[in-house]
Structure 1
Amino acid sequence: MDGHDADSSKQSTADMTIFVQNLLQQMQTRFQSMSESIISKIDEMGNRIDELEQSINDLRSEMGQEGTPSPSAALKAKEEPKSDDGSA
């Protein structure tokens, strides 16, 4: 009986080892998958931030060229009507 119990114990240990190895493999696979997903989302966020920065810079350019005149241009615009009024 002792020989049979030893064989059974060895088989039980082998089964437990295989079970733990499979469990660790599954955990590693899930961890790898989650890591890749997180990295992908971070890259996507980085790209979106870059696009947002570019859009902001484009808007600043448009505003500087078309929207609000520079302070010196605003002063000239105010001075011109005065000279026209004075000469008319």
Structure 2
Amino acid sequence: MADLDPPSGLALSELAEDLLQELQVHFQGLTETITFKMEEMGSRIDDLQNNVTDLMVEAGIQNTKSK
């Protein structure tokens, strides 16, 4: 068997730095995706709430001043 030299401290440090940078990029992408999805969901909930309120007004269950 051939003798393999263990990686130097500098090589390990660079590898760890690269890995952390890659993880940070992926985490930022996920954060942006989640933020977008939450904003989209909030908008849909607002639309739904407005539609329910409009239906209640049409049905005479709620007056327009409580909006």
Residues of 2 paired with 1:39 and 1:29: CA distance? 15
- Please give the secondary structure, in 1, of the residue aligned with 2:47: helix
Give the counterpart letter for 1:40 in structure 2: F
Instruction: Tell me the residue number matched to 2:19.
Output: 23
Residues of 2 paired with 1:50 and 1:29: CA distance? 32
Alignment pair present for 1:60 and 2:60: no
The structure that is helix-richer by fraction is 1
Q: Which runs of 5+ in 2 are unaligned?
A: 62-67
Larger radius of gyration: 1
- 1:23-62 deviations in whole A, cap 9, x for unaligned? 0000111111111111111111110000000000111111
TM-score, normalised relative to structure 2? 0.74
Once the two structures are aligned, what percentage of the paired residues are identical? 37
Among residues 34, 41, 45, which one is paired with 1:45 in the alignment?
A: 41
Residues of 2 paired with 1:57 and 1:28: CA distance? 43
Once the two structures are TM-superposed, the CA of residue 63 in structure 1 deviates from its matched residue by 1.2
Q: Which runs of 5+ in 1 are unaligned?
A: 1-7, 69-88
Report how many aligned residue pairs link the two structures. Answer: 57
Residues of 2 paired with 1:42 and 1:54: CA distance? 18
